[in-house]
Amino acid sequence: MKTVFSGIQPSGLVHLGNLLGAINNWVKLSNDESKNYFCIVDLHSLTAMPDKTSLKTSIRDTLKVLMASGINMKNSVIYVQSDLKEHAYLSWILSNFCQVGELQRMTQFKEKSNSFGTHSGLLTYPILMAADILIHKANEVPVGDDQTQHLELTRNIADRFNNNYGDIFPIPEKTSGKSGARLMSLRHPENKMSKSSDDINGTIYFNDSKDSIIKKFKSSVTDSHNEIKYDLESKPGISNLIEIYSAINATELKETEKQFQDFRYGDFKLAVAETVINYLEPIAEKFEEISDSEVDSAVENNLKLAKVSAELTISEIETALGID
């Protein structure tokens, strides 16, 4: 049985991009013949210096959204990264199998250092990500294109460790199957849909009201023409709406184009809005139904399972290194 690992940062309210880009795929994976570890990677979020109270709330809310999304818990383990100290411990060990130059060449480091500075946490972020993946000996990792470079570094680190100390780690692959949609902001379609408050009108949050969703789609940026066509270069706004509709309805982009070829932009926006409302409604309702005790119980039970897996891996690593 293959092992899958994936993580999500608790850096704000879960939005439509998180659901269709990652969590929707997790739901599908949870019903496959695989062992799945889905992690709230709160240690990664520290690189942006989050507010303490907001972070605690985001961690809790993200856990509840995952539970409400329909993930099959029978073969899935959902837990919080900071609750499993083996992540940080393995990160230190793996740092000895990675070159500083490799980290400095990471595209995300170059981009994010402009906003958060060049502190060492931002630089070594990919090593912690490698530890996240390797702590459970994951064979497959569902990641977007923006994380492919980090996964490649993880593969290199695992390979170097194995060459020196024996075949401890499987070399993880990017997950097979269709990847999740990469949704862009409704107001700034050149940027990804974001949890940040400065793009609140361009982001659809999982618990947005029906009226709010319709309002956001009505004000979404398109272009001066009136053709429903997928063209990222000249029609990024309309292309984003096509992507959203296609992801929710599991249809090909061309099918969506054909379905709405005679629609005006305003009518198309409303059609996408209604689809999003119908998709989010049961998730938001389930979210409200989940009690604090249910969350606590799930966290406790899942953490035990994650800890067993992590301790087995660490024991093998320490024996291989001679520090057991």
161-195 residue pLDDT tens: 999 999 999 999 988 655 567 799 999 999 888 86
pLDDT at residue 105, as a whole number: 87
Neighbours of 117 (CB within 10 A): 11
Q: What is the dihedral of CA 57, 60, 64, 67, to 10 degrees?
A: 150
Cα gap 71→317, rounded to integer Å: 31
pTM of the model: 0.91
pLDDT digits (tens, 9 = 90+) for 135-147: 999 999 998 777 8
Chain segment 257-303, per-residue pLDDT in tens: 999 999 999 999 999 999 999 999 999 999 999 999 999 999 999 99
pLDDT tens track for 38-48: 999 999 999 88
pLDDT tens-digit readout, 192-240: 888 665 678 899 999 999 999 999 999 999 998 889 999 999 999 999 9
Helix (H) or strand (E) holding 80: strand 76-80
Catalytic residues: 112, 192, 195
Question: Maximum distance among all alpha carbons in the chain?
Answer: 69
Dist. CA 246–CA 14, nearest whole Å: 20
186 contacts: CB under 8 Å, gap ≥ 6: 193, 201, 202, 203, 204, 216, 217, 219, 220, 221, 237, 240
**Domains defined for the chain, CATH in brackets:** 2-180+292-321 (3.40.50.620), 197-288 (1.10.240.10)
Helical segments of 50-119, H only? 52-68, 86-94, 100-104, 107-116
Instruction: Report pLDDT for 179.
Output: 56
Q: Do 62 and 14 meet the contact criterion of CB atoms below 8 Å apart?
A: yes
At 249, which helix (H) or strand (E)? helix 236-249
**Is 180 within 8 Å of 144 (Cβ atoms)?**
yes
What pLDDT score does 23 carry?
Answer: 94
Does position 109 have pLDDT exceeding 80, yes or no? no
When pLDDT is cut at 50, 70 and 90, the band that residue 324 belongs to is confident
pLDDT, position 177: 56
Q: Which of 60-69, 101-110, 197-206, 237-246 has the lowest mean pLDDT?
A: 101-110
